[in-house]
C-alpha cells in the first residue's frame, strides 16, 4: 500500500464526521430536539476516534502474490484473510476515485464466481495497479486454460 492511502482514510473520516455533525446540528436547530446536541458531541467523538485509527487501518491492508493464488488481508478488530486462486479470477478492475486520482492512487478489484470472495485492494500507486492488473490477467488466463 502507498503511504498516501492514509490521506484518503483521513479525508474519509473527516467527511463522515462533517456529514454526521451537519445532520446533528440540523436536528437540533430545525426540530429543536435537545438530543441533537448530544448527537453532535457523539459525531465529534466518533470523528476523533476515526482520525486516530485511520493510519492503523490503512496499514492493516496488504496482499501477497503466491505461486497459485493471491492472498489478501485487511482489518484490525475484524481480521479478514482471503485467498483468491488465479484460475478463478473472472474480472480484474482498476478504479480511481477523485481523491485517490488526485493522490495518484488506484483500487484493484477482483471478481470471482463466488460472491463472497470479492476482493478490493485500495491505495495502490497507479503504475503498480496497472502492472499488477496485467500480471494477474496473464496468470488467470494461463491457469484457466488448464481447467
**Mean predicted confidence (pLDDT) in 26-50:** 93
Locate the domains of the chain by residue range.
Answer: 5-59, 62-144
**Mean predicted confidence (pLDDT) in 24-37:** 91
**Mean predicted confidence (pLDDT) in 66-90:** 88
pLDDT per residue as tens digits for the range 101-125 = 899 999 999 888 776 667 889 999 9
Residue 38 has a pLDDT of: 95
Which cell numbers in the block locate residue 123? 491505495
Rounded Cα distance, 144 and 38, in Å: 56
For domain 62-144, which CATH number applies: 1.10.3470, 3.10.105, 1.10.287, 2.30.29?
A: 2.30.29
| Least-confidence region, from 25-34, 64-73, 83-92 | 83-92
Percentage of the chain lying above the pLDDT 90 cut: 54
Residue 33 has a pLDDT of: 85
What are the b/e assignments for 46-85, b being 16+ CB within 10 Å?
A: ebeebeeebeebbebbebeeeeebbebebeeeeeeebebb
State the pTM of this model: 0.78
Residue 116 has a pLDDT of: 65
**Mean predicted confidence (pLDDT) in 91-100:** 89
Amino acid at each position: 500500500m502507498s503511504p498516501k492511502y492514509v490521506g484518503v482514510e483521513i479525508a474519509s473520516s473527516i467527511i463522515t464526521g462533517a456529514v454526521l455533525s451537519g445532520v446533528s446540528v440540523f436536528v437540533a436547530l430545525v426540530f429543536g430536539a435537545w438530543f441533537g446536541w448530544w448527537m453532535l458531541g457523539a459525531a465529534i467523538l466518533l470523528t476523533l476516534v476515526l482520525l486516530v485509527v485511520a493510519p492503523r487501518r490503512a496499514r492493516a491492508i496488504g496482499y501477497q502474490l503466491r505461486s497459485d493464488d493471491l492472498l489478501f488481508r485487511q482489518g484490525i478488530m475484524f481480521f479478514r484473510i482471503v485467498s483468491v486462486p488465479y484460475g478463478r479470477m473472472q474480472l480484474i478492475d482498476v478504479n480511481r476515485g477523485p481523491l485517490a486520482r488526485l493522490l495518484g492512487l488506484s483500487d484493484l478489484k477482483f471478481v470471482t464466481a463466488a460472491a463472497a470472495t470479492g476482493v478490493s485492494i485500495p491505495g495502490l500507486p497507479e503504475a503498480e495497479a496497472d502492472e499488477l492488473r496485467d500480471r494477474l490477467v496473464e496468470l488467470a488466463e494461463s491457469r484457466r486454460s488448464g481447467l
